[in-house]
Amino acid sequence: MRAIVCTRYGPPEVLELREVEKPTPSANDVLIRIRATSVTAADCEIRRFEFPGWVWIPLRLWFGVRKPRRPILGQTLAGTVEATGRDVRLYQEGDRVFGASGVGLGTHAEYICLRENPRDGALTTMPANASYEECAAVPYGGLEALRFLRKANLRAGQQVLVIGAGGSFGTFAVQLAKLSGAVVTAVDSAGKLDMLRSIGADQVLDYTRGDYTAAGDTYDVIFDVAGKSRFSRSVRLLRSEGVFLLSNPHFPQLVRGLWISLTSRRKVVFGASSGTSQDLAYLRGLIESGKLRSVLDRRFALEQMVEAHRRAESGEKLGDVIITIPGRDLPAT
């Protein structure tokens, strides 16, 4: 099968299209022909291996010292079940499925084997009203946004600020917060504001045109989806019993966040547990009912992975960068 192999840590050019051995399902595995996947911020971070110093050594030992131990990157997939192990009961050949591979990675390829009930990652059947490309975007940003927002116990009428709202996490966070009845303010650059309005943001702020933290507004929940805001300024916008959701925190943010949580009625939340197949099924229901949709940026072929990584880390993408993998014997959708 064809797969993109990360030959070493570095720029997008370290990614190569190669022929590798097609996996064979074990007794509890499902063999999936991948039709679409995505390129996420996490994929780019692993490829570059740019992590905060306090986690650099343990992560390097985990992923591989000289080069990635799991050289096929990618965490999301949508595709068709081609074969199942003898003990699989939930799926059968031909089922359309989508999911996340977790720390095992491996979705930037034509095939992958996943457990029927993965302990790490998620897998469930696709909504009938969504394409492979639309479904490939959900398991990363959708599950991450869902797991963080659940920690905030959102209530109708609360004021929510989403910082970095135009990417994968943010577009799902805006929609899920709105579904909870919240009033949502979305922060990103000018080119993404119309899109954010279209998915339900009540107010949009362009961070390139001034300091949004100086406006004097306060919020019940603040979700910094990329961990790139000025934490000391942003946390001042939090109301007395508010919740600050912090994805991808740096060590000083962790320390200050813990201190705030211990010494005040405000809470800083990071490091929530991974999403499950049940969580993904919940999101599937929202998609089927027309309450949730993926925002897709550009589509690339598997052999265009270098260009896709450049786009994903450009800071200009709207929603998700998608890789379509129709297969050599399958038509594109």
Mean pLDDT, range 87-108, rounded to an integer: 96
321 three-state secondary structure: strand
- Topology, domain 140-269: Rossmann fold (3.40.50)
Mean pLDDT, range 289-301, rounded to an integer: 98
* pLDDT of 172 above 80: yes
Rounded Cα distance, 278 and 332, in Å = 29
Rounded Cα distance, 109 and 100, in Å = 14
* pLDDT of 17 above 70: yes
CATH 3.40.50.720, the chain: domain bounds? 140-269
CATH 3.90.180.10, the chain: domain bounds? 2-137+294-324
Q: Answer yes or no: CATH 3.30.70.520 is held by domain 2-137+294-324.
A: no
Rounded Cα distance, 222 and 231, in Å = 11
What are 254-292's pLDDT values in tens digits? 888 888 888 888 999 987 667 899 999 999 999 999 999
